[in-house]
């Protein structure tokens, strides 16, 4: 039998989208707007509106959208009971998957006309519910899930810290959610679109997407980068660490990308926020170590950091537990996934590719006594 090539469709076009464009030379645009402009000028809520509605909101539209998101945050009591039954050693992405799936049971999509409301509902519920699970399972505490914070970022951070959120912290997470919101036909988005092409409900599509992001070759690089950075205590150690890892043919997490060949445009954006947060922080060396590793990897391997690498120290400075890094990625990506689901279902043809058969040639049947 021939060996599978395992190309993974890399570099192959699998359809059309109007939502984003990812270019090899390091360009990312959402509906024509550069990620640099959006991160600098827009809130995550504006970006969410852009992806879901196809245009930037006017002032009144944005306020209405923010108010809707605020009103849809309340977590159903039945979901709270489910969260309380999930043990602390469960993978947090399995918790996100359970939240999305369970919401599909208690608030099903009866009509595609409900898809936008469901997306807004899930954005609010997942943000609150994952913190509730973490607090209950790790600290045996039932927390109040209401805050007066209008932004998703500030709401999440206030639930987590149970304190007022510094402006820089809220802005950093807000920008992070924008950076993670959409990224063309990546594995999880394509999973969601394949499911959507069968005309399945939005919850099933999103559950499938979450499952794909849970895989270590897609999501989780920020968590692995954080674990690596925690092993290093100084700049000198960082230089030796990289050399030793490369000599042993081991992978340094958070470097290189499946599409970008020169740079990941999101990386420098979150790097700047990590640097700002590090100033005056007791763990300032964490960012400095990350910069040394970045320099070493470029000097030795000509590999650049992807967006996950500097997200690790940035999230650490925000007080976010490492195990919640990838769930935050998923919460932001609910917007991109949903927009792709809308797009697929609006102009649908079932996604059913062919395969190159590499199995045995035609064979004659043998009775069991002759085998």
Report the pLDDT value the prediction gives residue 110, as an integer from 0 to 100: 96
Taking only the tens place, the pLDDT of each residue in 201-221 is 999 999 999 999 998 878 888
R_g of the chain computed on alpha carbons: 22
Report domain extents, the chain. Answer: 29-216+323-346, 221-317
Residue 11 — pLDDT band, cuts 50, 70, 90? Answer: low
Tokens coding 27? 């360009």
Report CA 365 to chain centroid distance, whole Å. 49
pLDDT for the residue numbered 253: 87
Q: What is the pLDDT of residue 301?
A: 93
Say what percent of the chain tops pLDDT 70. 97
Give the confidence band of 132 by pLDDT, cuts at 50, 70, 90: very high
- In tens, the pLDDT along 258-292 reads 889 899 999 999 999 999 999 989 999 999 999 99
Exposed, middle or buried by CB within 10 Å (0-12, 13-18, 19+), for 127? buried
Is 308 among the catalytic positions? yes
| Average pLDDT value for residue range 124-132 | 97
pLDDT band at 251 (very low <50, low <70, confident <90, very high): confident
Binning pLDDT at 50, 70 and 90, where does residue 62 land? very high
The architecture that CATH gives domain 29-216+323-346 is Orthogonal Bundle (1.10)
Question: Residues of 182-219 as b/e, b for ≥16 C-beta within 10 angstroms?
Answer: bbbbbbbbbbbbbbbbeebbbbbbbbbbbbbbbeeebb
What is the domain class of 221-317 according to CATH? mainly alpha
- How far apart CA 122 and CA 103 sit, in angstroms, is 8
* pLDDT per position as a tens digit, 221-240: 888 899 999 999 899 899 88
Q: Dihedral sign, CA of 315, 120, 334, 294?
A: negative
Q: How confident is the model at residue 3 (pLDDT cuts 50, 70, 90)?
A: low
pLDDT score recorded for residue 265: 95
What average pLDDT does this structure show over 309-314? 96
Catalytic residue among 155, 257, 311, 340: 257
> What pLDDT is attached to residue 5?
58
Q: Which of 308, 311, 316, 340 is catalytic?
A: 308
Contact by Cβ (8 Å): 343, 19: yes
pLDDT exceeds cutoff 60 at 6: no
Structural contact between residues 341 and 193, judged by C-beta atoms closer than 8 angstroms? yes
Nearest Cα neighbor of 324 from 255, 177, 252, 222 is: 222
Q: How confident is the model at residue 2 (pLDDT cuts 50, 70, 90)?
A: low
Task: Please say if 316 is a catalytic residue.
Answer: no
Residue labelled with tokens 């999509």: 109
pLDDT per position as a tens digit, 156-213: 999 999 999 999 999 999 999 999 999 999 999 999 999 999 999 999 999 999 999 9
**4 has pLDDT over 60:** no
The residue from 53, 218, 281, 283 that is catalytic is 218
The overall average pLDDT reported for the chain is 94
**Span 68-105, pLDDT tens digits:** 999 999 999 999 999 999 999 999 999 999 999 999 99
User: What's residue 103's pLDDT?
Assistant: 98
């Amino acid at each position: 039998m021939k060996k599978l090539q395992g190309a993974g469709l890399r570099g192959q076009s699998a359809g059309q989208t109007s939502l984003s464009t990812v270019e090899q030379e390091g360009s990312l645009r959402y509906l024509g707007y550069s990620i640099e402009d959006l991160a600098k000028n827009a809130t995550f809520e504006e970006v969410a509106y852009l992806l879901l509605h196809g245009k930037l909101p006017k002032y009144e539209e944005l306020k209405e959208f923010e108010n809707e998101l605020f009103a849809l945050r309340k977590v159903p009591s039945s979901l709270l009971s489910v969260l309380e039954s999930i043990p602390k050693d469960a993978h947090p992405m399995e918790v996100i998957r359970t939240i999305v799936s369970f919401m599909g049971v208690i608030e099903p999509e009866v009509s595609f006309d409900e898809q936008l409301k469901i997306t807004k509902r899930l954005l609010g519920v997942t943000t609150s519910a994952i913190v509730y699970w973490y607090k209950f399972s790790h600290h045996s505490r039932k927390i109040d899930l209401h805050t007066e914070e209008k932004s998703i970022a500030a709401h999440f951070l206030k639930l987590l810290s149970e304190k007022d959120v510094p402006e820089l912290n809220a802005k950093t997470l807000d920008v992070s959610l924008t950076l993670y919101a959409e990224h063309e036909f990546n594995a999880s988005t394509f999973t969601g679109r394949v499911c959507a092409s069968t005309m399945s409900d939005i919850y099933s599509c999103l559950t499938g997407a979450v499952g794909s992001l849970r895989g270590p070759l897609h999501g989780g690089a920020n968590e692995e980068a954080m674990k690596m950075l925690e092993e290093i205590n100084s700049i000198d150690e960082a230089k030796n660490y990289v050399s030793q890892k490369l000599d042993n043919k081991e992978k340094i997490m958070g470097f290189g990308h499946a599409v970008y060949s020169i740079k990941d445009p999101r990386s420098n954006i979150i790097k700047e926020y990590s640097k700002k947060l590090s100033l005056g922080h007791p763990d300032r060396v964490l960012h400095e170590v990350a910069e040394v590793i970045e320099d070493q990897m470029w000097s030795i391997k000509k590999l650049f950091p992807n967006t996950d690498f500097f997200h690790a120290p940035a999230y650490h400075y925000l007080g976010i537990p490492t195990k919640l890094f990838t769930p935050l990625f998923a919460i932001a990506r609910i917007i991109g996934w949903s927009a792709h689901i809308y797009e697929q279902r609006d102009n649908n043809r079932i996604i059913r590719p062919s395969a190159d058969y590499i199995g045995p040639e035609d064979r004659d049947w043998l009775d069991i006594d002759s085998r």
